[in-house]
Structure 1
């Protein structure tokens, strides 16, 4: 058998696989006159598909945000002079980081025999809740309203800390800059800005320094990290 002339040979290009979403299937079902039961099933499938994508985007953003949140210094003194990070200190650090990753939070409060506060962490169409409860704080000379307010503040702070899995460091008057400590918030912001400037892979960078995120970088490694970023800029 003789071969066909080259001009008669048509090259068959491989066809790219087309992934159909539930919405695509729903549109085809409507066009083909599918019954109501099938349309409802496809609509439910679409809702689950969207919810799954929203949860995935939320979890990815939360992981990145937590990698940038530094250990928060305990700036206030409470019972028995025990130090803690108050709500203002926590919010000052985490709010811009969460916002940068499309995340935010709010609180929902109920009161029966106890006061309950729910921290709702949300973003990308998904939300997760953490609820804590406790009695009104009647210690000291607080009146009834002050006792409720004290408990609300306490529960808001701790529900937010639990929702994000935050850690708080003792304020050791500069000790955080010691060889075993982590970098300061200002140093975190400096590294993040430099990473964005040189388009560095922040997750790979953290892995190189064997930490979960840039905010957990050891103070002793800061100069080396800056040098590594600048070296990438020079390439």
Structure 2
């Protein structure tokens, strides 16, 4: 067999192995997602101007809930983190045992709220990035306490953290915030309905893949 033919054969085998690994990844992910739990929201953010606080799922709770399920279906979830100027970049990597992996990147400002010291500020942003990159990769959902009866007729909007996640994705992609708002029929990110949050992420994912 000539060297050129051997090289083509090796390339074909590599492409086939890559395609098979991706198919196995998607099949296992599809089976696993039905088993992933809804995460309780035990964390809270008190808005500085008063009003009702916003709840969110703690990274510790997410990690404890998903680790045994990831292992059962042959997945591992790891993270790369580094700092660029005033931003913390957290990359979540979901890897399958047969070799295929997917990534989700979060760019976050250093969280200096609440009189945090520099180490606490970096830790808070890193934890935030882990929560939302994991949620993006696994399509996780979380749930807080039921709303009071007075709020039953209101359409809940995305939380401050979810708004920051969308803003970080828009900044990373250098995308126009107003176009996303027009698509979701709102005037600003704060007005996006909670039920449309996953839809907004899907729109940004599709735009990123198309670019």
Measured against the shorter chain, the TM-score band is: 0.5 to 0.7
Q: What residue is the counterpart of 2:71 in the other structure?
A: 99
How many residue pairs match? The answer is 140
Distance 2:13 2:125 in 1: 42
Distance 1:152 1:64 in 2: 29
Distance 1:76 1:134 in 2: 19
Q: What residue is the counterpart of 2:59 in the other structure?
A: 87
Distance 2:92 2:46 in 1: 24
Selected match of 1:72 from 30, 39, 50: 39
2:136 matched to 1:136? no
List gaps (5 residues or longer) in structure 1. 1-33, 174-235
Q: What residue is the counterpart of 1:36 in the other structure?
A: 3
Measured after TM superposition, the shift of residue 89 of structure 1 is 1.0
Q: Once the two structures are superposed, what CA deviation does each residue of 1:148-193 show, in whole Å capped at 9, x if it has no partner?
A: 11111111111111111111112349xxxxxxxxxxxxxxxxxxxx
**Structural mapping, 1:67-216, within 5 Å:** 67-80=34-47, 81-113=53-85, 114-123=87-96, 124-172=98-146
Distance 1:79 1:61 in 2: 39
Distance 1:103 1:150 in 2: 26
Deviates more, 1:71-80 or 1:129-138: 71-80
2:30 matched to 1:63? yes
Measured after TM superposition, the shift of residue 118 of structure 1 is 0.3
Distance 2:10 2:113 in 1: 54
Normalised TM-score (structure 1): 0.57
Q: What residue is the counterpart of 2:161 in the other structure?
A: none
Q: Once the two structures are superposed, what CA deviation does each residue of 1:116-148 show, in whole Å capped at 9, x if it has no partner?
A: 000000012110000000111111211111111
- Local SS of the residue matching 2:89: strand
Measured after TM superposition, the shift of residue 109 of structure 1 is 1.0
Contact between 1:75 and 1:171, CA under 8 Å: does it hold in 2? no
Distance 1:142 1:73 in 2: 25
Measured after TM superposition, the shift of residue 36 of structure 1 is 0.4
Q: Which runs of 4+ in 1 moved over 6 A?
A: none
